[in-house]
Amino acid sequence: MLLAELGRCPIGDGEALLETVLSKASEKQIVDLQEAPDAHKEQRLRELLVTLESPPPSREAERMLGRVLFKGIEVKEGQTINPALILKELFALQSSLESRVPGTLHRQATILRAVLNPDPSRQPAIAALRAVLGAGSVAKDEPDHELALQLLDLYNRACDDGCPVCLSADSDIEHHYLAPLLNSRRALKGLRGVLLEGTSGSCVSEVKGPLMEGRSARVQAEPGNLGDQLNPTIGLGIVQEIDDAGQASDTSAFVVDFDAAADFLVDGKWQPRWGDPKDMPYKTPKGRRVRTSDERIIASALEGAGIPFDYEPALAYEDDEERIHHIHPTFHLFRHELYLQYWGPNDALYIESRQHKEQVYMRPDVQRRARVLFLEPEDLENGTFMEKIEARIRDDRME
């Protein structure tokens, strides 16, 4: 009845098509397709499907397959990884493991096997990813942990279509725990329609007024790991919007728990509301947790220099109507009364965008009370960030 009412699920169909093609096609067929001229890629893809004797797919499933096949991810200085080849190796490993046990293995078990039992001869793309991460010093301290995070992001979220209700019983790529809340794709479609009527801003903090009044809002920033979930801990529901071309566009945000949202958005209590290890997966040598690998580099350097810090402290400010709000700089060097704001990629920018924070930092009352040093990704790439920090500390002492 559900199938007749809603039609086939494009998520389940797309995942099935992706696994079929990557399992049947050779590495040479995949690479030849990826290297075809852009004008011929669509036709070459359809020719490959015929060669593999795959039934004609739905348009949504074909788009999903194309997005995985034709996406390369730049990791460092022109080095790229090939997600399609990594997925091909993970599908093959999963099939091999499932042939030895009854039932279906969870994908995390497959990733654990790939990380802890590397086999470069059978999984060269995964080995290449490990090497690239190591060469970039991203995984210097915890190579297995970093590799697992990358594979989890790729393998558990192979679908970019954005529907958080997967009706396919044997797929774990979507957030299955949302099903009791949203129930069906029809409900989700209606929800998105309502959300599209909300106000708009560059980040959640800019639209927290309407959100706390029970209205929905559109947010232009990339949500990262916050996307497509109802998160009662921070009190927000965040749904990715998909345009007619099947590409992710803006997100819609709405409050699912007003007490939690007030704690998080109004009172600025990030650590108790957004401080779990899953939210901050990177650790410094002394065990401090942060959200990104770049922030771990900065935090580790501060620890090495003996400079104590707070991570994401709440910095209060007043708006024009004398209402108290908060923003969260990346670090506070409290012995030196200096805030560090790092502008690298971070899920936190979805909550507080660079545009929003820059406006707050420019406010006269904030400039009087808070000294802030801004760091860019280039400062990490050229290794000058600690020189900038130490120079600023010296200059502030001389004032």
User: 326: closest CA among 312, 347, 311, 340?
Assistant: 312
Around 79, how many Cα atoms within 13 Å sit in the side-chain half-sphere? 13
- Mean pLDDT along residues 1-11: 43
Residue-wise pLDDT for 349-387, tens only, equals 889 999 999 999 999 989 999 999 999 999 999 999 999
Residue-wise pLDDT for 43-57, tens only, equals 888 899 999 988 888
Is 0.75 topped by the overall pTM?
Answer: no
Residue reference for tokens 């034709």? 70
Residue-wise pLDDT for 296-325, tens only, equals 999 999 999 999 999 999 999 998 888 899
Per domain, the residue ranges of the chain are: 2-156, 184-266, 273-398
Largest CA distance in the chain: 75
Residue 188 has pLDDT above 70, yes or no: no
Give the three-class secondary structure for 244.
coil
Residue type for position 390: E
Residue-wise pLDDT for 336-352, tens only, equals 999 999 998 888 988 99
324 strand-pairing partners: 318
338 strand-pairing partners: 333, 371
Gap between the Cα atoms of 14 and 12, Å rounded: 5
